Amino acid sequence: MSADSDNTIAMVSVDKIQRDWLNLTLRVAQAETECLALEAENKALRSLLERVIEHRQKSHGELVNLLTTLVSKLPLNDIGVIVARLVEHNQRVTEVSASLIKGKLEDNVLQPALLKNLDKTKRDLTDAFKPEVETLLKLEAPFEPGLLASLLDKPDNFFSPHVARANRAFVKGQIPRERVLKEFGPDALVFFKDVTTDVKFNPRPKPEEIMLAFKPEFAELLTQNPNISRRPELEALHTKLRQSRENTEASRAQKTAFVRLSFFLELLHYYENQSTESPDVVFAQRLPPLIEQLAITGEREVLDEKALLAAEALLGLIINADHRKAVINNIGKAGGLPRTLRYTLTFRAEKLTEMDPLTLECVKHLIPRNQPPEPAALAVVVKLFNPHMQQSIIRAIGTTDRLRKEDAEKLGKDIAAELGLKEMLDRWNEQSTVSPERERQLAWDHIKDLIGTRTTPHEIISTIRKRLHGRYDADEVKACWLVLTEADPMIFVRVFCLFPYLPDGQADPLARPILETFVSRLMHEKYATVYTKTINALKNLFKVKADSPTLVNFIALVRWVDTDAAAKVSNDVGMTA
């Protein structure tokens, strides 16, 4: 650039500035107005976006809630994986939606009740296992130092191979070989015997799988080896192991704390990993032995109610009712007191009739064939059931075929007297003073009243089945036939269709002979009036709906017991063959 170039700005005249000033002022005002309009529009759009995202969060939460309700009706094996996926998906959608608005997750987002319950259960389990760890530490259980403390920060360490071997060693009163080498060195192996290596079955076990136990002559070996390193710690470990195997309050407290800790961590691990853990393994194999060990303590021959309450408290942490039943149903496979525990836990929660298969199974378990136990011993067990099941079990005992009729009734009365069930005893005594004919008439009059008051067929068949199973003979079947045929013919048809099926879906063993008798009477000329009424009712049903399930089931059941009778009924109704 040349030195003499002119860098001065051309001067603008005052007249030009005055002419353009008004135009400039208008443009600035217009720009400010447009800016304010854009700000208002942005606020409106943001408000609209927030409402849309909030609505999306709520609608998605409601959708997940509906899905979890439907999922709960699926088979047991499918629930865990699907619920885990729903939880993960719902969490991701909630986080993304919240980040679009404020960049963080809000606490008040709509969440399904099942997921809330799952989160609460996880928190409860997390809070519950920590006191058990501290209890084991205070009781000086023979665990490796620092092993239990590590569970407070990392509960999943419980399932690591190192902790799993330590747990197995605690249960069996043994010590992993690797721990002995690490704490006391190779010289200390002289005090232990190898309980894993077997020349025939396990000749070359892995080093980390070898388990050791103190030799019986530990005191003599300790005297012979006075220069062993860490002698006080070795003696302390021997004392801890010996005390943990004794039948004392301290050892029982250790075992109880360990069982509770195992239950909490097993259940927490399942709820944290439902997509990979099988519910069959957890609820049918791992948890039942823990409940059994907690409820049956020491050398007791009867169940303790305090232990039962503790077991029920643990079962209450299981969210799914089917999973709870799976745990209870897999207790007591070998029989004995654990089998009694299974029935007790079931009958403390459920209300079944005396003709329910599970009730009859319990009676068979409690009463060996032709060996009636003492009423006081049975009363101790029955007292633990809920009041409804106490009466159901006593009625089932009073009619059981494992004893003579007189002995069974006497045993039932004695148990009722032991439990102080005065009303049941009075009712039983009233029935015993009435003649069998009068008692039969009263029973079927009651069933007739049920029919007259328009009771549902399911309740009618339940009462009839209870009567026939307790006293099955030709007179009872005849009374049942007369009561049903005197009523509306459709009541007869519907009850007829319900005879073969028990409430649990199993087949009633008395159904076929009863239905054979009914079909035989229906086709007999003596009951032509009953046959005509029944056919007219079936014809009307066929006209209204030709494929009516009641009509189809009735014909199928008649065909089940008599093919010719079914063909005649079908022809008279007008159905094609």
Contact 517, 477 (CB under 8 A): yes
Does pLDDT of 66 surpass 60? yes
Average pLDDT over residues 116-144: 87
Helix then strand then coil, % of the chain, to nearest 5 = 70, 0, 25
Contact 125, 268 (CB under 8 A): yes
Average pLDDT over residues 288-305: 84
Residues 120, 391: Cα–Cα separation, whole Å: 37
Lowest-confidence pick of 102-116, 301-315, 393-407, 545-559: 102-116
The average confidence (pLDDT) of the chain is 82
Q: Which letter does DSSP use for residue 207 in this model?
A: G
Pick from 90-99, 128-137, 494-503 the range whose average pLDDT is largest: 128-137
pLDDT in tens, 514-528: 889 899 998 988 889
Q: Which residues pair with 501 in a beta bridge?
A: 507
- Find, among 214, 260, 69, 244, the residue nearest to 140 by Cα: 244
DSSP 283-316: IIIIHHHHHHHHHS-TT-SS--HHHHHHHHHHHT
If you search the block for the tokens 């943990």, which residue do you land on? 244
How many other C-beta atoms can be found within 10 angstroms of the C-beta atom of residue 235? 14
Pick from 242-246, 290-294, 444-448 the range whose average pLDDT is largest: 290-294
Does pLDDT of 105 surpass 60? no
Confidence (pLDDT) at 383: 92
Does pLDDT of 333 surpass 60? yes
Confidence (pLDDT) at 1: 44
How many other C-beta atoms can be found within 10 angstroms of the C-beta atom of residue 50? 13
Does pLDDT of 370 surpass 90? no
- Find, among 384, 320, 429, the residue nearest to 77 by Cα: 320
Confidence (pLDDT) at 2: 46
Q: How is the beta sheet containing 175-176 ordered, strand by strand?
A: 175-176, 211-214, 192-194
Confidence (pLDDT) at 341: 92
Specify the pTM. 0.63
Q: Which residues pair with 193 in a beta bridge?
A: 213
60 HSE (CA, 13 A, CB side): 19
Pick from 99-103, 443-447, 526-530 the range whose average pLDDT is largest: 526-530
Residues 267, 264: Cα–Cα separation, whole Å: 5
How many other C-beta atoms can be found within 10 angstroms of the C-beta atom of residue 183? 16
- Find, among 546, 534, 535, 541, the residue nearest to 575 by Cα: 546
- Find, among 378, 280, 292, 300, the residue nearest to 328 by Cα: 292
3-class state of residue 173 by DSSP: coil
DSSP 443-473: HHHHHHHHHHTT--HHHHHHHHHHHHHHS-S
How many other C-beta atoms can be found within 10 angstroms of the C-beta atom of residue 15? 8
Does pLDDT of 362 surpass 50? yes
**H-helix or E-strand spanning residue 213:** strand 211-214
Residues 303, 342: Cα–Cα separation, whole Å: 11
Average pLDDT over residues 181-186: 86
pLDDT in tens, 406-418: 888 888 889 989 8
**H-helix or E-strand spanning residue 387:** helix 387-398
How many other C-beta atoms can be found within 10 angstroms of the C-beta atom of residue 382? 25
Confidence (pLDDT) at 83: 66
**H-helix or E-strand spanning residue 23:** helix 14-71
Residue 104: which pLDDT band, with cuts at 50, 70 and 90?
low
Residues 114, 319: Cα–Cα separation, whole Å: 9
Percent of the chain residues topping a pLDDT of 90: 11
Which tokens in the block code for residue 277?
Answer: 């853990």
Longest Cα separation, the chain: 143
Which tokens in the block code for residue 570?
Answer: 């079908």
Please measure the distance between the N-terminal and C-terminal CA atoms of the chain and give it in whole angstroms.
117
